[in-house]
Structure 1
Amino acid sequence: MAKRFGVLEEEKVFKDPVHRYIHVRDELIWELIGTKEFQRLRRIRQLGTTYLTFHGAEHTRFNHSLGVYEIMRRMVETIEQDMAWDSEERLVCLAAALLHDIGHGPFSHSFEKVFHTDHEEWTKGIILGDTEVHNVLKVMGEEFPKKVADVIAKTYHNKLVVSLISSQIDADRMDYLQRDAFYTGVSYGHFDMERLLRVMRPTEDQAVFKHSGMHAVEDYIMSRYQMYWQVYFHPVTRSAEVILSRILHRAKDLYEQGYEFKDKPKHFYSLFSGKITLGDYLKLDESVILYYFQEWQEEEDPILQDLCRRFMDRKLFKYVECDPSEQMKIWPELIQLFNKIGLDHNYYLVIDSSSDLPYDFYRPGEEEERVPINLLKPNGDLRELSRESDVVEAISGKKRTDHKLYFPKDLLDNQQTFAEEKQRILKLLMAQEG
């Protein structure tokens, strides 16, 4: 029988600003960290373009993935006090936590929207494909990689394991809220994780929380709510994302038109053609993307040149609040005016919408139905969180959406030839804010 990974002779420790220390005792985890696919995460920021708003947000998916692993390690230790798990189930949990974000591309969600990629599908591909990660996982048995992939895909047979890494309160969220708060310098994302781990109890389908720990759960929910609206959906960050997406769209459009780039974007060819392989995908990171943005500032195409300079020099678009129903009434005139003064509306007039549902109770059969957070009463009964907490009930099931219209105000201000059109555009835009 082939030798499987065991326990390291000496524990490895990573110093971490959020959790103080990250402990690695299993050979499997140590070997996974050393794979080239996991090391690639050092070159992908956790928060995409947020560093252009909060200058400290330079942390990476590598940092975050180690943090999720550490929280999962502690969760498993807590759960093992109440129920018996075999060693393989424990390692499935730890490996899935470590690898849950390994399929993220550069600038993550903005990148996905342009090229219609799915980081979870790429994560599955890395775990099951011809990779160093797969070869390491396979040491634990031929079926072990699939078990790890199933946890991340939420199809694993043990629902408790899935809930620890993907639910409304899980190791992933617990790390990114604290880590993102730390690196952006805000206070919103902090909550009492120690308390949450102490009051966590395992059931067959999910981890629940003792009723006495309800206030710690409330604190977590409200921290998440604040982080989304104060950090993740910050309008300046969204402006940078808009420009980033327009750059990628412009490059793709030029490629399809047969444009001759001075510096041929060979890393993008398979993306542009929709035939990207796993090997192509793994060559992409943010250093590659930024290299091309730097070079494209010298391209002859004025739109690509301008957009890249804006991104690299942080000359972002301005924005106004907008009501989609009202905005549609003026949209045709805005497009006509933009095109008349020489600004292509496809690249210089963009509506961006953000929405979040901070907590939801169980809605069976609905798309993306959410498993609720349950509280364990002293008599052993389970109660859904919003039925016990007035604070959580106030925001349960309430989806908040925000719409903004982005445009290059500097180009409008500098417009000399079409003075009347410029004034009409500004009047229409300002009217959106009421």
Structure 2
Amino acid sequence: MFLLKKVGEIKDPVHGYIHFTEIEKSIIDLAPFQRLRRIKQLAVAELTYPGAVHSRFLHSIGVMHVSGLIGNHLLEKGYISKDEVQELRLAGLLHDVGHGPFSHVYEDILDKYSNLTHEDLSQRIIRETEIGDILEKHGYSKRKISELAVGKLEKNKKFLNQVIAGHFSSDIMDYLLRDSYFAGVEYGKIDLFRLIESLDLVGNDIAADYSGAFGVLESYIIARIEMFNVVYFHRAVRAANIMISRCMDFAHEKLGLYPLKSLEDFLQLDDYKVLVGLESLKNEKEEKLSKSYKIFSDLKERRLFKSTYEVVIHQRNNFLTNLINKQSIRKKIESEIGDEAGIDSDYIVIDVPQVPSVPVNPIERKRSEILVYRKTPEGIITQKIKDISPLLATLSEFIDIVRVYTLPEHRDKVIRVCERLFGRKSISEKISM
């Protein structure tokens, strides 16, 4: 049931009719938010899943809606006010307003050249553009909404952050359903309403009732893992996203991607501007720009980089931690592979699950810390989900996939070098950092 005063509705293929309030309509109609129509949710995943052409705009509307559903549930339990339901919806609406071209792919640029994230940019956009003016006009604090939108609200009721950025967040719930729907796969389907109904507060944290919704909880976590394996870290999806990332990196100054002169300049960036900019590089002679155009040309004709070497590691070690967390180490190893194979290392990529351009990594350290509860005559008993599910206890072990990509014509050379350098069984056995 929609408890706020609605002024209109949007027909969404995932959630059906989504109602919106006057303040939400005012923000949706602003240029900084309309820009999200021109940014694809899954970058160039459409080259593998042709239906995956949905935008950040649609996802943001969906997160607003799911934030409202969770908010209404908390309101009915007496934990929050009606105004706080509206604040949650606004935070959900604006949580991704700072995304750059091709969504998480732009995070690779920010990660390499700055200390910024799209969350930092979201906060600035909320506070420094007309979005903030609309919020203040309607009596809402732009600072509070900017903090809540990225899960960093520092005042009381910190559990509100978890609605937007926790284990049971509106963001996760929407992208699982939405990305699954548009990719045309079944793996992300979850029982949204049963999951929300299972949520309650334990202290200042949102937890789920495993006694009444155990199967729903298992399915929810497994959905994240399956979507990661089948969509987000699919070999061909990653190949295409790696290629657009390299294109953007090699031409980042020419395309105006970085350095950012002003927030206004950032708000002019979208997928279309990058594509037009890359097309304009056709006759460039400078080495990096020429490489950018070559990779872009291959991408347009779906001549994708190929995975030449892959290893699945079931337990973290010092090597893997360094490889995952340090771009400089990945670059060093790419150069070593290139030297051994006699190939330009600009066409060799070591891909790991936690590079910024991977939309979600379910293999995270805190997944096993997901809080669940059970009501008993003696009171509420809380546990970590890994302690009550043998399946999830197994899945919560670290599983990391390391891949090496290169151009199709160099595939055999790189395979031989990788096997010589790293061995056939485990990359971590042969390299010490």
TM-score, reference length from structure 1: 0.81
- Aligned partner of 1:73: which letter? G
Corresponding position of 1:244:
244
- Aligned partner of 2:338: which letter? I
Corresponding position of 1:388:
388
Corresponding position of 1:230:
230
- Aligned partner of 1:427: which letter? R
Aligned-partner Cα distance in 2 for 1:214–1:103: 35
Does structure 2 retain, via aligned residues, the 8 Å contact 1:330–1:428? no
Of residues 142, 155, 158, the one that matches 1:145 is 142
Corresponding position of 2:122:
123
Q: Deviations over 1:90-128 (max 9, x none)?
A: 221111011111111011222121233410000000111
Cα 1:330–1:37 change in 2 (3 A) is: closer
SS in structure 2 at match of 1:202:
strand
Corresponding position of 1:27:
22
Cα 1:93–1:166 change in 2 (3 A) is: same
Aligned-partner Cα distance in 1 for 2:333–2:166: 41
Does structure 1 retain, via aligned residues, the 8 Å contact 2:68–2:86? no
Of residues 293, 298, 310, the one that matches 1:310 is 298
When the two chains are superposed, the root-mean-square deviation of aligned CA atoms in Å is 2.8
Corresponding position of 1:136:
134
- Aligned partner of 2:183: which letter? T
Give yes or no for the alignment of 1:336 onto 2:339: yes
Does structure 2 retain, via aligned residues, the 8 Å contact 1:221–1:359? no
Aligned-partner Cα distance in 1 for 2:267–2:243: 24
Of residues 62, 65, 83, the one that matches 2:60 is 65
Aligned-partner Cα distance in 2 for 1:287–1:208: 41
- What aligned pairs does 1:345-424 form with structure 2 within 5 A after superposition? 345=345, 347-355=346-354, 356-358=361-363, 372-379=370-377, 380-384=379-383, 385-396=385-396, 398-410=397-409, 412=410
Does structure 2 retain, via aligned residues, the 8 Å contact 1:164–1:206? no
Corresponding position of 2:184:
185
Aligned-partner Cα distance in 1 for 2:183–2:400: 23
Corresponding position of 1:209:
208
**Alignment gaps of 5+ in structure 1:** 1-5, 256-264, 363-369, 414-422
| Pairwise CA distance, 1:296 | 1.8
Query: Equivalent pairs: percent with the same residue?
Result: 28
Cα 1:338–1:293 change in 2 (3 A) is: farther
Aligned-partner Cα distance in 1 for 2:230–2:79: 41
Cα 1:330–1:298 change in 2 (3 A) is: closer
| Pairwise CA distance, 1:427 | 3.1
Corresponding position of 1:42:
37
Aligned-partner Cα distance in 2 for 1:198–1:59: 28
Cα 1:139–1:376 change in 2 (3 A) is: farther
SS in structure 2 at match of 1:293:
helix
Aligned-partner Cα distance in 2 for 1:313–1:92: 45
Aligned-partner Cα distance in 1 for 2:8–2:176: 25
Aligned residues: 388
| Pairwise CA distance, 1:425 | 5.1
Aligned-partner Cα distance in 2 for 1:73–1:289: 34
Aligned-partner Cα distance in 2 for 1:153–1:192: 24
Aligned-partner Cα distance in 2 for 1:392–1:375: 16
Aligned-partner Cα distance in 2 for 1:126–1:425: 44
| Pairwise CA distance, 1:295 | 2.0
| Pairwise CA distance, 1:239 | 1.2
**Alignment gaps of 5+ in structure 2:** 312-318, 324-328, 355-360, 425-433
Aligned-partner Cα distance in 2 for 1:309–1:354: 26
| Pairwise CA distance, 1:49 | 2.0
SS in structure 2 at match of 1:375:
strand
Aligned-partner Cα distance in 2 for 1:333–1:86: 58
Aligned-partner Cα distance in 2 for 1:244–1:277: 24
Aligned-partner Cα distance in 2 for 1:433–1:55: 36
SS in structure 2 at match of 1:222:
helix
Does structure 1 retain, via aligned residues, the 8 Å contact 2:110–2:117? no
- What aligned pairs does 1:313-328 form with structure 2 within 5 A after superposition? 313-322=301-310
Cα 1:344–1:360 change in 2 (3 A) is: closer
Give yes or no for the alignment of 1:13 onto 2:9: yes
Give yes or no for the alignment of 1:428 onto 2:417: yes
Q: Deviations over 1:112-164 (max 9, x none)?
A: 212334100000001111x12111111133x6111111212423322121111
Aligned-partner Cα distance in 2 for 1:425–1:231: 25
Aligned-partner Cα distance in 1 for 2:86–2:172: 20
| Pairwise CA distance, 1:194 | 1.8
Aligned-partner Cα distance in 2 for 1:360–1:425: 32
Does structure 2 retain, via aligned residues, the 8 Å contact 1:320–1:433? no
SS in structure 1 at match of 2:236:
helix
Corresponding position of 2:106:
111
Aligned-partner Cα distance in 1 for 2:107–2:296: 19
- Aligned partner of 1:39: which letter? Q
Corresponding position of 1:418:
none
- Aligned partner of 2:16: which letter? R
Q: Deviations over 1:202-236 (max 9, x none)?
A: 34413322221121111101111111111111111
